[in-house]
Every structure is written in C-alpha cells, then in structure tokens.
Structure 1
Amino acid sequence: MEKKKALPILFAVMFLVMSGFGIIIPVIPFYAEEIGATPAQLGLLMAIYSLMQFIFAPMWGRISDRYGRKPVIMIGILGLSLSFFLMALSNDLWMLFVARIIGGTLSAANMPTAMAYVADITTEEDRAKGMGMIGAATGLGFIFGPAIGGLFSQTSMSAPFYVAGILSFITSLFVLFVLKESLTEEARTKQGAKRPSILNAFQGTTSVLFILNLFVSLSLAGLEATFAYFASQKAGLGIAQLGLIFMIMGFGSALVQGGLVGRLSKKYGEGTVIQGGMIVSIIGMALILTISSFTTAAIFLTIFGMGNGAIRPAVSSLLTKSSQTGHGNITGLLSSFDSLGRIIGPPLGGYLFSISIGFPYISGIILSVFALLLFQVYKAKSPSKSLEV
C-alpha cells in the first residue's frame, strides 16, 4: 500500500474510534447515576479510565515497536468495543468500574500506536502534517460522537453503549481488512533488539517536551472541568449553549490540526508552531476571563482551542524525530503524560474554582507561560533543524 493512501485510512480509523468513544461521553453521568453512583463515585469512574491509560500507554507503545502497529491498534479498538458492551449490560456500579478499567487498559493502545504509525509512514518533512491529521480525526470524533449519543439516549440509557460497541467492532474489521502494517519485519526485529527503556526516552532535552505536554494537558483538563460553571456565572449560559460552544471550539481545533499545523511546520519548523500555539492559547485563556455573552465565550474559547490544538501534533513530530527507532515507546510515554494531565487537571481545577472562579484560568496561564519558558531551554540546547524560525 502506498504511504499516501495509508494516512487517510488511519484518519478514518481514528475518527471512527473517537466517534464511538464520544457517543458515551454525555450519557455516562446519567447512566451511572441511574445505577446509583454518587457524584464522588462518578468522578472516580471517570478518573480510573485515565489512570489505566497513564499506566498502560507506554507498555502498548513498546509492544507495537516489537510486534507491529496493526495488531496493537486492533487490540485497542476491540478493547473499547468490549468495554462498551459491558457497560451496556451493567446493572451494578462495580460492573461499570470493571468495564472502565478494561476499556482504559486496552484502549490505551490506540493513540500512541496511531502516532507511531504516522511516524512510520511519513518523512520528517511531513511528520507534523500527519500528526495533525490524527489530532483532527480525534477532535471531529468528539464533535459528532456526543451528538449521536444524545440522539440514541432518547431510546434508552443503554442504547448509546450498544451503538458505540457495534461501531467499534465494525472499525476493528475495517482495520483488519483495509489498514496495512506500517512496520516492516526488518524494522520490528531492529526495534525489538534495541528497545529503549522509558527512562532512556525521558532523558536529556527531550524530557522538556514531555513536561511541556503535561502542562498543556493540565490547562485543558482544568478548563474543561470548570468552564460550564464559569460560563454560567459570568454569562448565564445553559447546557445547550455550552454544547454548541464546545462544538465550535472543536471545529476550530480540528481545522488548525488538519490544515495548518503541517503547512506551518514545513515552512517555519515545529519549534515555531509550538511557540505560536502556546502564545495563542495563553491569549485565549486570558480572554476567557472576560467573557460576558455566548458570542464572546465562543470566540475566546475557540482562540484557546486553536492554540492548544497546534501544540500536540508539533510536539509529537519533534519527539518521533528525536528517535529513529522506538516510535511506539516515545508516543506511548507522551500519551501517558497526556493521561496524567487528565487525572490531575479536573480535581485541581475544581479546587481552584472553589477558591475563586477565575483561578483555574489564571493557573492555566501561569502553567503555559512556564511551559513556554521551558521550551526556550529545549530550543537553546537542541540542534534540531525543526526548531529553526
């Protein structure tokens, strides 16, 4: 299969995967509450999924280096499908927790392996474009998935989980019959013999990029956890308006990742894109503090989302360029840092919000400024041409 054909196929796979995942997002709180979950138990139910991904993403990345990308992607998608069906059949809270643990453990394979797949099939010049397309597929899946879930929830609370399970299973068949392996037998043998440890991946100047990604994830997770309450108090916005705002933000982020990141990285280098993304996200976060209406909330949140969306693909591109082998090891560790941000971000954002409604956003600005300064250290010490302005 030509490499040019592989990227659109992978885009379709990740869009379907994230659509299936997005289907259950708006339903889980009500479904768990119907079973008898308290707000604290619901928070734990959401967090345990990210915890499993934090633990297992590096492992799956390393496995994909040794045994190939395609089988690991299939394991991740089938794991999602299994977890969705288990959730649909759950009639007690412990069953939901088991389903989430299984889903988090197995689906941790999806994102790092997809990014490693992109690194396998793209040249260094086009790496950021490929990473951006995966980000765009993820963003679009999270836009369409919740809308589908909301529609099927009108039939029954368990219906969205069955739909998500069926969609994920169909996606696994699509991978089986259409997606070709990107890692040659020779490359697998080489990477299996020279598998770098996690500690080797997290060393030197590249460690700065992992920390930077953690700060970006923390800021986004803190915003997502508190923005509904913030917008309600500042601008009197309701659930329907907030859903539309996040949809607009998602489209803006997907547009940047799918259309601009690759072009800008090729012309100016990933370093410039990362710095620009951080500056735009800082401006957006600061503007969010001043929202007063639906229009200002939509515009300012979209500015933040576009800046934030540009960072991850460029960081992924730089990291995979730093290691010609072991792409799965690198992307697995990066996904783990993403998950760590999603674990810490919501409770931290909620705590800061309880002190003052603006604190989650002020702390996000501070974290982003610190990340920007950290990147200057990386830029000064890295010889990579990708950092050229």
Structure 2
Amino acid sequence: MVVTEFESAIIITAQDSDQPTMNQRMGIVIMLISAFGTASRFIARTFLEQYAVVIQSTATAISFITSLRNLIQMAFQSSFGRLSDKLGRKTLIVVGTFGQALTLALIPFIRNGWLLVVGVATFSVFVALSTPAFTALLGDLTSHKSIAGLLRMVNLVGAIASLIALLSVGNLSNLGETELQQYSIILYAAAGLFFITGVISLFLINPSTEKLEKVSVLTFRPLRENKEFRRFVVFGSIMGFSMSLGWPIFPFVRTEFASPEENAWIWASFSVIMIITLIVIRPVINKMNRKWLLFIGRVIMFYIPLNLAITTFWVQTWWHMAIGSALSGFGNALYMIGESAYILDQATVKEKGTYTGLFYLFLGLATFAGSLISGVLADIFIPILGQWQTIGLFLFIIAGIRFISSFGFLFLRPSTR
C-alpha cells in the first residue's frame, strides 16, 4: 500500500516535470530508511538526555548537550545540504548514517557529563551530514503538488517504526539491573538500528536531477532573494528558541518520575497519536495551507512544559506525562509536514538541499541559544530556590513563551507553488 501511494506521487511528478519516475525497489528503500532511521534517531534523541541525568550531569552540561546537538545538527546542514546538491544524496546519507551508528555505540562507555557533551557533538555532525540529503532526495522524487502527501507517508512509516522500536527497547531495558545499564541497553539498540539503516541506504540510487556546477561552503542568497523564505526562517527560529528553552529541563522530570520502561511507554503514546493523525489527515493533506499546519502544530506545544510542571508539583505519575507526550505527537505530525513542505515549496529545483540547510542553520543557532540560556539560568537559580521549585517555575514560564511564539506563523503567506 505504501509503495503504491508513493509511486502514484512519482507518476504525477513525471507528468509535470522532467524528473525521473521511480520504480518499486526505490520506493521500498526510501520507506525502509524512513522506518529504521526515524526509529533510531527518535530513541537516541529521547534517551541521550535522560542518560545524561543518570550519570549525574548538571543542568549546564545538559544544556550544552542539547544546544550543541541542535546547533551542529542544524547549522551544519546548510553546508552539507549544498554539498549534496553537488555530489548527490546517497554518499552523504550513507556516511552520515554509519557515523551515527558508530558514535552512538560508544556513548554508553562515557560516565562524565562533559565527555558526554563531546560524544553527542560528534554524533550530531553525522546527523547533519545525512538529514538534509534525505529531505532533498524526497524533493527530487516528487512534485511540489504532492510533496506534502509524500512527507505524510514518510512520517507515518517512521512513526509506526518508532512505536514498535520504543516498545521493544522498553522491554529490552529490563535486562539491565541498574538504571545506568537499562539506559545503556537502549542506546546500544538504537546504534544497531542506525547500522541497519546504513546498510539499507547502500541500495539508494541518486536521481538524475540538475546539480549545482559550483559549491560554496555557505550562501545566504536565498534569504536575500526570497522574501517569503526569509520570513519563514525568522518565525521558525523564534519558535525554535522558545521550544529549546525546555530541553535541558524536561529530562529531570521524566527521569525522576518514570523508569526507563515507563519512559518508553510515554513516548509510545507520542508515536500512537502521530500515527493516527497522519492517517486521518491523508485525504486533505496536499490541500491544507502550510501556515495552518505550522501554527496548529506548534501552538499546542505550550502544554508540554505545563504538563511537566503539573507532574512536578501535583500528579507525579508516568501516565500523566504520557498525556502530554500524546498531544505532542499530534502537534509534531502536523508541524513536520508543514515545515519540510514549506521549505521545498520555496526552494528552486537545483537548491533543495541549500534551502533546507539554510533554514536549519538559523534554527540551530536559535535552539543553541535557547537551550544554553535555560540550562545556565537553572544552575544559577537551583541553589537559591531549590531544584524542584526552580524546575517548576521555569516550566510555567516556558509554557507561556511557547504559546506566544507560535502566533508568528500566522504572518506567513500561503505557498505560491
């Protein structure tokens, strides 16, 4: 079913442009990469921060982990995305995926918070290498008219795979006798999934699209020439800043009030709701205004820090955190489609990777600043107010900032393509 839908999108592309059609084999490879790659990245991103709490990292160290992770993963995408426009997508996807597998497999040997910062930074370089190349590859293989539908399918496959992987690693973690061993098992499992993704990516074939004749390390020309893309970068970065304020704080709550297996269930609720959302919106996704996908997907994210604040003070159970995670799944399902589709709508045929990377460059800078500021301030106020009073106060403030920031997307204009 997935391949049939995917091929139908490519048939539309073949009718509308000179881009090549894609056979069934290529469709299967794309969906397998989405399945294993999304599951491995989701597990790594979710549990690396909680692993940092378990090895007793400070809030400042965790803020460096989250801020550097996002700065590197997003900022480097501009150069790597442009490089993929020149060299082709496959090479960057393969090298990046195997690099993620290797570095993540080594991280459980780290017991120091600041060494973990170095490990996560190295891991993030490889994430930045593969991510814009894969996004641009999807843009190569379909038309602007049907890109949202393709992204919905890719995200749906990834969400289903993430759900299965979360439930599996949650049960697998019980083999560990200590919390440290349990989180280590989870990270090893994610590294294995990355390795499988790398093997699958070897079967990719670069589409015969127009390539850049020259490659510059960094170009801001799209921001100068495309006013709507520039507007999107500004509002997306503001939203990213507000989102990142919570990232150094959230792991303390989730690690304190839920076991590794319960955290797997919490994030499973995220995947379940994402899957349901992606299925329900299928008939209308290509007709939906991108800015409403972005706004709705982000305005509801104010509830996540609010939910964790309530958990901190009053409802200290894993199932209450699962409610917030489920709502997050709904919001992220809409936002991920809207974000990628809006970028590709604005991009030129030759520079899909460039536009993707440039957006994530500024998003990376914004999230770096937000995460770092939050973690440093938390370590300043914890000795004054106490750990949980500080965490609770920060969560309430972050909820308000997220809510206000989301309204920036309403100032975007509909895509013209």
Aligned pairs, number? 369
Query: Shift of residue 307 of structure 1?
Result: 3.1
Question: Take 2:168 and 2:101, find their aligned partners in 1: how far apart are those partners?
Answer: 16
**CA 1:345 to 1:130, structure 2 compared with 1: closer, same or farther past 3 Å?**
farther
Q: Would the aligned equivalents of 1:210 and 1:337 in 2 still touch at CA under 8 Å?
A: yes
**CA 1:260 to 1:19, structure 2 compared with 1: closer, same or farther past 3 Å?**
same
Q: Does 1:170 align with 2:189?
A: no
Taking the TM superposition and a 5 Å limit, the aligned residue runs for 1:211-290 are 211-222=234-245, 226=249, 238=258, 244-256=265-277, 258-259=278-279, 263-278=283-298, 281=300
Taking the TM superposition and a 5 Å limit, the aligned residue runs for 1:84-163 are 84-90=104-110, 96-140=116-160, 142-153=162-173, 154-155=175-176, 156=181, 158-163=184-189
1:192 is paired with a residue whose SS is: coil
Query: Shift of residue 196 of structure 1?
Result: 10
How high is the TM-score relative to the length of structure 1? 0.77
Q: Which residue of 2 aligns with 1:311?
A: 335
Q: Would the aligned equivalents of 1:58 and 1:333 in 2 still touch at CA under 8 Å?
A: yes
**CA 1:35 to 1:298, structure 2 compared with 1: closer, same or farther past 3 Å?**
closer
Q: Does 1:3 align with 2:40?
A: no
Q: Would the aligned equivalents of 2:291 and 2:409 in 1 still touch at CA under 8 Å?
A: no
**Amino acid in structure 2 at the alignment position of 1:247:** A
Q: Would the aligned equivalents of 2:74 and 2:357 in 1 still touch at CA under 8 Å?
A: no
Query: Shift of residue 95 of structure 1?
Result: 5.5
Q: Would the aligned equivalents of 1:320 and 1:331 in 2 still touch at CA under 8 Å?
A: yes
Q: 1:329 aligns with which of 339, 354, 367?
A: 354
2:143 is paired with a residue whose SS is: coil
1:253 is paired with a residue whose SS is: helix
Any idea what the Cα deviations from partners look like across 1:181-223, whole Å, max 9, x if unmatched?
23x2x612xx234879531122322112122323443444445
**Amino acid in structure 1 at the alignment position of 2:198:** S
1:365 is paired with a residue whose SS is: helix
Query: What stretches of structure 2 of length at least 5 have no aligned partner?
Result: 1-19, 379-389
Query: Shift of residue 116 of structure 1?
Result: 0.5
Q: Which residue of 2 aligns with 1:374?
A: 411
Question: Take 1:8 and 1:338, find their aligned partners in 2: how far apart are those partners?
Answer: 31
Query: Shift of residue 10 of structure 1?
Result: 1.9
Query: Shift of residue 16 of structure 1?
Result: 1.1
**CA 1:125 to 1:196, structure 2 compared with 1: closer, same or farther past 3 Å?**
farther
Question: Take 2:290 and 2:23, find their aligned partners in 1: how far apart are those partners?
Answer: 21
Q: Would the aligned equivalents of 2:55 and 2:113 in 1 still touch at CA under 8 Å?
A: yes
Question: Take 1:125 and 1:23, find their aligned partners in 2: how far apart are those partners?
Answer: 32
Query: What stretches of structure 1 of length at least 5 have no aligned partner?
Result: none
**CA 1:116 to 1:70, structure 2 compared with 1: closer, same or farther past 3 Å?**
same
Any idea what the Cα deviations from partners look like across 1:127-180, whole Å, max 9, x if unmatched?
112223344455455544454444444344644444333332232121113x22
1:124 is paired with a residue whose SS is: coil
1:202 is paired with a residue whose SS is: helix
Identity %: 18
Query: Shift of residue 99 of structure 1?
Result: 3.0
Question: Take 1:27 and 1:303, find their aligned partners in 2: how far apart are those partners?
Answer: 19
**CA 1:98 to 1:385, structure 2 compared with 1: closer, same or farther past 3 Å?**
closer
Q: Would the aligned equivalents of 2:61 and 2:117 in 1 still touch at CA under 8 Å?
A: no
Taking the TM superposition and a 5 Å limit, the aligned residue runs for 1:355-374 are 355=393, 357-369=395-407, 371-374=408-411
Q: Which residue of 1 aligns with 2:220?
A: 199
Taking the TM superposition and a 5 Å limit, the aligned residue runs for 1:26-37 are 28=48, 37=57
Question: Take 1:303 and 1:163, find their aligned partners in 2: how far apart are those partners?
Answer: 26
**CA 1:121 to 1:335, structure 2 compared with 1: closer, same or farther past 3 Å?**
same
**CA 1:340 to 1:225, structure 2 compared with 1: closer, same or farther past 3 Å?**
same
Question: Take 1:297 and 1:34, find their aligned partners in 2: how far apart are those partners?
Answer: 19
How high is the TM-score relative to the length of structure 2? 0.72
Query: Shift of residue 123 of structure 1?
Result: 1.2
Question: Take 1:100 and 1:34, find their aligned partners in 2: how far apart are those partners?
Answer: 15
Q: Would the aligned equivalents of 1:286 and 1:362 in 2 still touch at CA under 8 Å?
A: no
Question: Take 1:91 and 1:229, find their aligned partners in 2: how far apart are those partners?
Answer: 17
Question: Take 2:332 and 2:66, find their aligned partners in 1: how far apart are those partners?
Answer: 23
Q: Would the aligned equivalents of 2:239 and 2:406 in 1 still touch at CA under 8 Å?
A: yes
**CA 1:343 to 1:259, structure 2 compared with 1: closer, same or farther past 3 Å?**
farther
Q: Which residue of 2 aligns with 1:44?
A: 64
**CA 1:319 to 1:306, structure 2 compared with 1: closer, same or farther past 3 Å?**
same
**Amino acid in structure 1 at the alignment position of 2:220:** L
**Amino acid in structure 2 at the alignment position of 1:200:** R
Q: Which residue of 1 aligns with 2:387?
A: none
Query: Shift of residue 299 of structure 1?
Result: 5.1
RMSD of equivalent CA atoms: 3.9
Q: Which residue of 2 aligns with 1:19?
A: 39
